[in-house]
Amino acid sequence: MLVPVKWLKDYVDYDMKTEELALAMTMSGTNVESIKTLGENIQGVVVGKIESIKPHPNADKLRVCFVDVGGENALQIITGAENVKEGDKVPTALEGSQLPIGIKIKTTKFRGLESQGMMCSAQELKLETKNLPDEQKNGILILPENAPIGEDVKKILGLDDEIIEFEITTNRPDCLSIVGIAREAAVTVGGRFKFPEIVVPEGQGNISNETRVDVEDPDLCPRYTARLIKNVRIKPSPIWMQQRLRAAGIRPINNIVDITNYVMLELGQPLHAFDFECLNDKRIIVRRAKKGEKLVTLDGIERELDESVLVIADSNKPVGIAGVMGGENSEITEKTQTVLLESANFNSTSIRRTAKKLGLRTEASSRFEKGIDPNIAEIASNRFVQLVEQLDAGDVVNGIIDIYPKPLKPWRIKMRPGRINKILGTNLTSEQMEKILNSLGLKVVEKSSEHLFVEVPTFRKDITREEDLSEEIGRIYGFDNIPPTLPKGSTTFGTQPSHMVKADKTKDILNACGISEIITFSFISPQSFDKINLPKESPLRKVIKLMNPLGEDTSVMRTTLIPNMLSVISYNLSNRQENIALFELGRVYRPKSLPLKELPDEYNLLTIGMSDDKIDFYDLKGVVETLFENLGVTPVEFNPYKHPTFHPGRTAEVLINGKRAGVLGEIHPDVNDAYDIKKRVYLCELEFDLIAEQSELSYKFEPIPRYPAVERDLAIVVNDSVLAKDIENTIIEAGGSLIKEIDLFDIYKGKQIPEGKKSMAYSLMFRANDRTLTDEEVNNIYNKIVDSLKNKFNAKLRD
């Protein structure tokens, strides 16, 4: 809400700088977003009177003007403009002055003659030129004849004002008006509030003889008032009104339309003026639109309507969409003779829905949809005719049509001062509270020792219960004056759930492994599933779709974190980043059924992606093993696995305690291509909820071994297809509890090893907790292991 300070001062007396007022208003609940000083960039431009004009001796197109600016001598100013004549008053930029178009005026010579300043056009002062006579649009701006010579033009042009921009919260539609702001300002800074004095002028005839209004749907239109103006004299509104409208962000159009807007800004009641001659049968019907009915609104767009839309109609067609925008068919034009003025109240929900449906939010609809006091409708209508009379815009017809079947009356709230103090944590007396309430127009109508009855004026529809009064009292008393304390009473324990503790720990471990965290959007493109090569029947393609996504790229809720991870890796590779090692711990959304009938399951996944010349599959696997080891997740298995996103020979399924925990491997080259990635990428995606559940973070001491260990190397040749995992399980099985460590230190294929075979060299460590093992004992176990490997895998011992 833009509020010109001079306009505001019509309704409230105060004596302080605008900045001080703004701060006080902010602290009482009407937040100030900005203060703009008009004409800030115009400096040293004054009213000058052209005394005489001579032709320029050296140039046909230039003229030499002598301009009186109140100094000792008239200034000699050269101009190329044709529209000035002797006696004209013009904005004169003096030597050293500043213009908003960014120039500074200096004395210069034009064809040999000195020019001691410049006469300015409207454009050079950055003024609106639309309402100027044509010759002034391109020439010099001519000021009113009575403008005092030497006066700063900012005063003459109304540019010596400041504009405060207020943020009005949705609960205070009454503050979407200058009067509403003035009322708040008066309470806030202790000034006097002056509601405009409204006198309805004496007119001719009577409206009831000229027209009639029928409201068919009083639920959607609680009040409708109409007045008539005859012999309308359409012309531009006076400069002062235009300046105020413009300062408040509204473009002046003509006197009638400008007055409607002026009253809306002043009182907060939107008004609409119809060209009465355009109303069939000269009557108004407020009704719901018929399905398929059409109306071209004032913005020139044809709107198709239906029964949900309330329209203002004449006997055979809609002439406006109630509370939103009028129709072109009844627009005020230069030919308008008679005006029917509507000042009505519409149901806020209905207006809100209509505006949303039509995608049409206007100054009027944004006020109606927040709720306007129906009691202001008649006052605004009266104010309109007062201004019509004042501006000589037409002849007022006596009387008002007012259809208001259920007038809204002030309501009462019981308030306990003790309760207010309990909410706020204050110690205010009942008298202090009463004083604050009264200043806000909330009348205390009855009191006892325990409570007060407060009568709420109809423009404060946001106040309906005791707590609402606590806010009013609190904010006017000043939130900053409430003493800060800490909650007393029950002790509570600060904790977080186990899976969050595990998540924090996971992030720490991965960080220690050199892996950094990423955070990406929860919605992805449906194309992502093709890019990561998922088959058509993949359950991951069962996605939750947004009804109103920002775009196709962000239209479905993710069921996997892989696409975002690959995008981030691709992005960083394209920025020539190296050592890429990233993880994301985030949610995926899996519907129980589609379309969604109940809330879906939200799971946490952990995805790790790595890409670097120096790493391979086992670096990533090592990270995952490190993570599991440090989270106390056991037992873990990695089995060969096929997954369309991954390399067919370099992918493992991860099992925790026999439960599927995810997949780990090298990304398939086709998927890499889809993401424009030129390097090998290693990636795993794990069910984090399972990891958290299986993680056992209790630590228990085991005695440090007192007896020495014995090491033996074991090198065997087996078929290529034999898995390390199976060999190791066999060693453990055969070796029993004395085997403490198995370390695969070499895998060899090639010379000396037959085709299709591999040599695997292990270092085995044996130890007993209660004695030193003898050579013989170790040899026995060793031989058992060798026999077992021979039997199972046809392994040959290698020397």
Partner 1 sequence: MREKLLNIRKEAEKSLLEAIKQQDIERLRINFLGKKGKLTQLLRGMGNLLPEDRPVIGQMANKLRSDLERMIEEKIEAIKEKEKLERLEKEQIDVTITGRKKFIGRKHPLTRTLEDIKSFFIGMGYEVVEGPEIELDYYNFEALNTPEDHPARDVQDTFYITDKILLRTQTSPMQVRTMEKRKPPLKILAPGRVYRSDAVDATHSPVFHQVEGLVIDENITMGDLKGTLIAFARYLFGQDRGVRFRPHYFPFTEPSAELDISCIVCNGKGCRLCSYNGWLEILGCGMVHPRVLEMVGYNPEKVGGFALGMGIERIALLKYGIDDMRLFFENDLRFLRQF
Residues 165-204 that bind partner 1 (CB under 8 A): 169-172
CB of 736 to partner 1, least distance (A): 39
Give the span between the Cα atoms of 570 and 375, in whole angstroms. Answer: 63
Counting contacts by CB under 8 A, is residue 519 touching partner 1?
yes
Contact region with partner 1 (CB under 8 A), list: 32-40, 127-135, 149-157, 716-724: 32-40
Give the span between the Cα atoms of 672 and 566, in whole angstroms. Answer: 8
Give the span between the Cα atoms of 184 and 193, in whole angstroms. Answer: 9
Give the span between the Cα atoms of 397 and 207, in whole angstroms. Answer: 6
Give the span between the Cα atoms of 299 and 296, in whole angstroms. Answer: 8
CB of 627 to partner 1, least distance (A): 12
Contact region with partner 1 (CB under 8 A), list: 329-337, 374-382, 540-548, 753-761: 540-548
Burial of 671-693, coded b for 16+ CB within 10 Å and e otherwise, reads: bbebbebeebbbbbbbbbbbbbb
- Cβ closer to partner 1: 348 or 375? 348
Counting contacts by CB under 8 A, is residue 550 touching partner 1?
yes
CB of 426 to partner 1, least distance (A): 8
Do strands 223-230 and 339-345 pair parallel, antiparallel, or not at all (unpaired)? Answer: antiparallel
- Cβ closer to partner 1: 545 or 740? 545
**Concatenated DSSP letters for 610-636?**
EE-TT--HHHHHHHHHHHHHHHT---E
Counting contacts by CB under 8 A, is residue 161 touching partner 1?
no
Closest C-alpha to 105, from 39, 40, 38, 45: 45
Counting contacts by CB under 8 A, is residue 206 touching partner 1?
no
With CB under 8 A as the contact rule, the residue among 16, 103, 304, 521 that binds partner 1 is: 521
CB of 185 to partner 1, least distance (A): 15
Counting contacts by CB under 8 A, is residue 487 touching partner 1?
yes
Strand partners, 114: 109
Helices 376-391 and 255-267: angle between axes, nearest 10 degrees: 140
With CB under 8 A as the contact rule, the residue among 482, 697, 723, 797 that binds partner 1 is: 482
- Cβ closer to partner 1: 479 or 745? 479
With CB under 8 A as the contact rule, the residue among 99, 229, 513, 671 that binds partner 1 is: 513
Contact region with partner 1 (CB under 8 A), list: 492-500, 633-641, 673-681, 698-706: 492-500
Give the span between the Cα atoms of 227 and 203, in whole angstroms. Answer: 11
DSSP character at residue 597 = S
Report CA Rg, the chain. Answer: 42
Contact region with partner 1 (CB under 8 A), list: 275-283, 496-504, 612-620, 702-710: 496-504
Contact region with partner 1 (CB under 8 A), list: 145-153, 532-540, 577-585, 636-644: 577-585
- Cβ closer to partner 1: 370 or 680? 370
- Cβ closer to partner 1: 531 or 558? 558
- Cβ closer to partner 1: 573 or 734? 573
> Torsions phi, psi of 342, nearest 5?
-100, 130
Counting contacts by CB under 8 A, is residue 137 touching partner 1?
no
The tokens for 54 are 């001579």
- Cβ closer to partner 1: 596 or 723? 596
With CB under 8 A as the contact rule, the residue among 34, 438, 774, 783 that binds partner 1 is: 34
- Cβ closer to partner 1: 26 or 136? 26
**Footprint on residues 578-607 left by partner 1 (CB under 8 A):** 579-583, 587, 589, 595-596, 599-600, 602
Counting contacts by CB under 8 A, is residue 522 touching partner 1?
yes
CB 57 within 8 Å of CB 109: no
Question: By rule CB under 8 A, what count of residues binds partner 1?
Answer: 92
- Cβ closer to partner 1: 349 or 390? 349
CB 33 within 8 Å of CB 168: no
Burial of 556-576, coded b for 16+ CB within 10 Å and e otherwise, reads: bbbbbbbbbbbbbbbebbeee
With CB under 8 A as the contact rule, the residue among 87, 148, 418, 514 that binds partner 1 is: 514
The contact mask relative to partner 1 for 602-621 (x = CB under 8 A, - = no) is x-------------------
**Footprint on residues 347-366 left by partner 1 (CB under 8 A):** 348-349, 352-353
With CB under 8 A as the contact rule, the residue among 6, 14, 27, 236 that binds partner 1 is: 27
HSE-up (13 A, CA, CB side) for residue 688: 25
Contact region with partner 1 (CB under 8 A), list: 257-265, 479-487, 701-709, 776-784: 479-487
Residue found under tokens 């599959």 = 617
The contact mask relative to partner 1 for 449-468 (x = CB under 8 A, - = no) is ----------------x-xx
Give the span between the Cα atoms of 279 and 316, in whole angstroms. Answer: 9
- Cβ closer to partner 1: 334 or 598? 598
CB of 27 to partner 1, least distance (A): 6
- Cβ closer to partner 1: 423 or 786? 423
Counting contacts by CB under 8 A, is residue 219 touching partner 1?
no
- From first CA to last CA, the distance across the chain in angstroms is 91
CB of 274 to partner 1, least distance (A): 28
The contact mask relative to partner 1 for 292-331 (x = CB under 8 A, - = no) is ----------------------------------------
Strands (E), 175-291: 192-193, 212-215, 223-230, 272-275, 283-288
CB 193 within 8 Å of CB 182: yes
User: What single-letter amino acid sits at 756?
Assistant: G
**Footprint on residues 405-424 left by partner 1 (CB under 8 A):** 422-424
- Cβ closer to partner 1: 77 or 440? 440
CB of 192 to partner 1, least distance (A): 23
As a dihedral over the C-alpha atoms of residue 648, residue 650, residue 655, residue 661, rounded to 10 degrees, the angle is: -80
- Cβ closer to partner 1: 32 or 739? 32
CB of 452 to partner 1, least distance (A): 18
**Footprint on residues 65-124 left by partner 1 (CB under 8 A):** none
On the 0-12 / 13-18 / 19+ scale of CB atoms within 10 A, 431 is exposed
**Footprint on residues 425-444 left by partner 1 (CB under 8 A):** 425-426
Closest C-alpha to 484, from 424, 436, 417, 429: 424
The tokens for 557 are 């809720």
Burial of 271-308, coded b for 16+ CB within 10 Å and e otherwise, reads: bbbbbbebbeebbbbbbbbeeebebebbeeeebebeee
CB of 529 to partner 1, least distance (A): 19
**Footprint on residues 253-292 left by partner 1 (CB under 8 A):** none
With CB under 8 A as the contact rule, the residue among 517, 552, 711, 726 that binds partner 1 is: 517
Cα separation values, 524 from 112, 484, 615, 689, Å: 71, 46, 29, 22
- Cβ closer to partner 1: 533 or 572? 572
- Cβ closer to partner 1: 501 or 709? 501
- Cβ closer to partner 1: 25 or 213? 25
For 700-703, which contacts have Cβ atoms below 8 Å and span 24 or more sequence positions? 703/769
- Cβ closer to partner 1: 366 or 763? 366
- Cβ closer to partner 1: 176 or 285? 176
User: What single-letter amino acid sits at 410?
Assistant: P
On the 0-12 / 13-18 / 19+ scale of CB atoms within 10 A, 454 is buried
CB of 727 to partner 1, least distance (A): 33
Give the span between the Cα atoms of 120 and 79, in whole angstroms. Answer: 10
